[in-house]
Amino acid sequence: MKIVESIHEMRDIAERTRIDGKIIGFVPTMGCLHEGHLSLMRKAREEVDLLIISIFVNPAQFAQGEDYDRYPRDLDEDIRKASEIGADIIFYPGKEKIYPDNYHTVVIVEKITNKLCGVSRPSFFRGVATVVTKLFNIVRPHKAYFGEKDYQQLVVIRKMVKDLNMDIKIIGIPIIRESNGLAMSSRNLYLTDRERASALSLSRSLNRAKEMVDSGERAAERIISEMKSIIESGRFTEIDYIAVCDPEEFEDVDKIKERVLIALAVRIGKTRLIDNCIVEVK
């Protein structure tokens, strides 16, 4: 496995791989790799000739006062895990290369980025869409893999790729959870033991929501209220949002008639966690 820090070298490798007629798969990450990331990489490994992962903690998707500086970083462990999966290249560019001093361009996906996480993090998706576009232009993948853990992000990337006619297949991968239900996230490392125990209420509330729909409940309001009481019964919790919405445009749904996304963001102490599930009406 090769570590590539230079944009020029990365583009060269991508160009040669394409000329050879080989398929490039890409898994963008912010590092501190866990089983969630590794499941994307394993899936990609099965499907492509050259597997490139990127590790870049993207300053453009963190607002002032968010956790950019203290975001967990562990390159040595990441290298070990990625090479165990059989990744071919870790692209590790560093922020001065991605955003030089005279950098002025952004990519904005409208409308769907104003909902859910976009309300409390108004510049987040602009940062994500911009960096993913740049990484796509450098790595030039045929296929790119994103987790359903960040469901809105996956939909935003799909929309951007379609709207901007990017010739890349976007593949969504199911959420990987700890055995206790907690969705894996690099930010789980911030949690104290007591906060971690409280954080279990997120997946518990989603399971309860699913159960309610399965047993015939159709009123989003009653589902949200039940989820709220489960989450608020835990300590250190502050709900950012709980939404029952359509999974494409994220418009709120009052009465559940078809497939819906149930999504939430909750602060546990200082740590903001997200989770979601798709619920089908049987």
Binding residue for ligand AMP, selected from 147, 155, 206, 256, defined by CB under 6 A: 147
Query: Does 265 interact with ligand AMP (rule: CB under 6 A)?
Result: no
Binding residue for ligand AMP, selected from 24, 37, 161, 198, defined by CB under 6 A: 37
Q: Which of residues 38-77 bind ligand AMP (CB under 6 A)?
A: 39-40
- Let me know if 34 is a catalytic residue: no
What mask of x and - would describe binding to ligand AMP in positions 153 to 192, judged by CB under 6 A?
--------------------x-xx------xxxx------
Least Cβ distance, residue 269 to ligand AMP (angstroms): 19
Query: Does 29 interact with ligand AMP (rule: CB under 6 A)?
Result: yes
CB-nearer residue toward ligand AMP: 29 or 130: 29
Query: Does 136 interact with ligand AMP (rule: CB under 6 A)?
Result: no
Least Cβ distance, residue 61 to ligand AMP (angstroms): 9
Binding residue for ligand AMP, selected from 146, 152, 253, 261, defined by CB under 6 A: 146
3-state secondary structure the chain: CEEECCHHHHHHHHHHHHHCCCCEEEEEECCCCCHHHHHHHHHHHHHCCEEEEEECCCHHHCCCCCCCCCCCCCHHHHHHHHHHHCCCEEECCCHHHHCCCCCCCCCCCCCHHHCCHHHHCCCHHHHHHHHHHHHHHHHCCCEEEEEHHHHHHHHHHHHHHHHCCCCCEEEEECCCECCCCCECCHHHHHCCHHHHHHHHHHHHHHHHHHHHHHCCCCEHHHHHHHHHHHHHCCCCEEEEEEEEECCCCCCECCECCCCEEEEEEEEECCEEEEEEEEECCC
Query: Does 150 interact with ligand AMP (rule: CB under 6 A)?
Result: yes
Residue ranges that bind ligand AMP, judged by CB under 6 A: 29-30, 36-37, 39-40, 146-147, 149-150, 173, 175-176, 183-186
Catalytic residue numbers, as ranges: 37
